[in-house]
Amino acid sequence: MLKNKDFRRVLVLGSVVTVIFAACGFIFAKAAAGALILVTGAILIALFSHYTKERYAAIEALNDYLTGVLAGRESPHPDDQEEGELSILRSNIYKAAGTLTHQKDLLAGDKKRLAAAIADISHQLKTPLTSMMVMNDLLVGEEDPDRRKDFLKTQSDQLDRMNWLIQTLLKLSKIDAGVVTMKQEEISAGKLIAAAVKPFEIQMELMEMKTVTVGDDLPLRCDIHWTIEALQNIIKNCYEHMDAGGALKIETEDTNLFSRIKITDSGCGIPEGDLPHIFERFYKGKNAGKDSVGIGLALSKAVMESQRGDILVKSQEGVGTEFDVRFYKTII
């Protein structure tokens, strides 16, 4: 405490003032008055030193606490109910330390998720790459033209799969990074649904699947390009889980809080244990196809949430699945 320049200055000044007033008391008054001044000054200096020492001890404790937090050690959060400037400072430091600890936990979780995502991506890319390498080795020594065509077709399919995966991951990373600006454009639900269904018309026709649209052609405000992609991923998931002759029903509805597009299939349904996880990246449920990556629905969810929307799902095994795509209205 004596190392502090300000404390030494106050201590010396207080001592000098006390001695001066005590001397004046001895000279101009009785000896008792001078003694009283001297004792009073000494008591005040002693009290000041005592409380200053306590404040220094509290500040030192706060310094040790911050050092522990910065070093990554677990530190307690005392329950301080006192009043005063030091107590306010202590409370704010505890809050800041708590925020730092929370952010540290979030970063640790992000690192784990990043490591898991990299492992999943590596696995998803490794499978088609291995297949292509095998096909390439077989092509070198294969003389049968028909088999060579089959090998080339397999390679082409694997390249398409890799391209889709990479493009989807790039889109997700842009949304995660916040560099995608979702435009608010007006479009009718009918046009949005027609654009989303169009790429699948041939496949669904070959499998004798029907698409039925029900409801009013209500106006929507959304980013047209990204929303079409979100709907296409849902529709793709639906028809991939339906048998030949199945039906896809698309309904629109307008409420006070949101407008919705409901997409219902007549497929195999989603097991109850898989239902809470279907929007997680790289998650593949029990009924997932062998070529499923588990990222399309995650992209759809991210797109809708980025424009203040949402996707809800309910399903029953053996009956079908319903995706509820909601466009929430602005509430002033």
Locate the domains of the chain by residue range: 5-76, 115-177, 185-328
CATH superfamily of 185-328: Histidine kinase-like ATPase, C-terminal domain (3.30.565.10)
Q: How far are the Cα atoms of 75, 96, 164 from residue 72, in angstroms, in the given order?
A: 9, 14, 42
Q: pTM score, two decimals?
A: 0.63
pLDDT tens, position by position, 260-274: 999 999 988 888 888
Rounded to an integer, the average pLDDT of 118-126 is: 70
Give φ, ψ of 271 to 5 degrees: -55, 145
Inter-residue contact 59 to 70 (CB < 8 Å) = no
Q: Collect all residues with Cβ–Cβ distance below 8 Å to 29 and sequence separation of at least 6.
A: none
Give the whole-angstrom CA distance, residue 179 versus residue 287. Answer: 34
- Report in angstroms the alpha-carbon separations of 156 from 69, 165, 220, 236, 290: 54, 14, 38, 20, 17
pLDDT tens, 224-271?
Answer: 999 999 999 999 989 888 888 889 999 999 998 999 999 999 988 888
Structure tokens at 198: 């169009």
Least reliable range by pLDDT among 7-11, 180-184, 291-295: 7-11
The fold for domain 115-177 equals: Helix Hairpins (1.10.287)
Tell me which of 122 and 123 has the higher pLDDT.
122
**Two domains, one topology: 115-177 and 185-328:** no
